[in-house]
Amino acid sequence: MNGPQLLVLAAGLGRRFGGDKQIAEVGPAGEWLLDYSLYDARQAGFAEAVLVVRPDLTDLLDRPFPLPVKWVFQETPGTEWG
């Protein structure tokens, strides 16, 4: 890897948002919010992203992203602040 890494903390439950914010479809062709974040990161010179997600978000693994991704899985406590 040559260049900086972007760390995306996306293991929360999204309670205030009303769902999983990073995989919310916000683009005209169903692009996720995460797609836009990673695209912008690539344009800014990031070489790779490290995504911290919950283990139940495995649907992310097969999706193509605009830059290389490494995965970190984090259990989220079932608390109001989690």
Model confidence over 39-59: pLDDT tens digits? 999 999 999 999 998 888 777
- pLDDT score of 77 more than 70: no
Measure the CA–CA gap between 64 and 75, rounded to whole angstroms: 24
Question: Is the pTM higher than 0.95?
Answer: no
Report residue 81's pLDDT band, with 50, 70 and 90 as the boundaries: low
Q: What is the pLDDT of residues 65-75, one digit of tens each?
A: 889 999 898 88
Q: Characterise 45 by phi-psi region: left (phi > 0), alpha (psi -120 to 50), beta (else).
A: left
Domain boundaries, the chain: 5-73
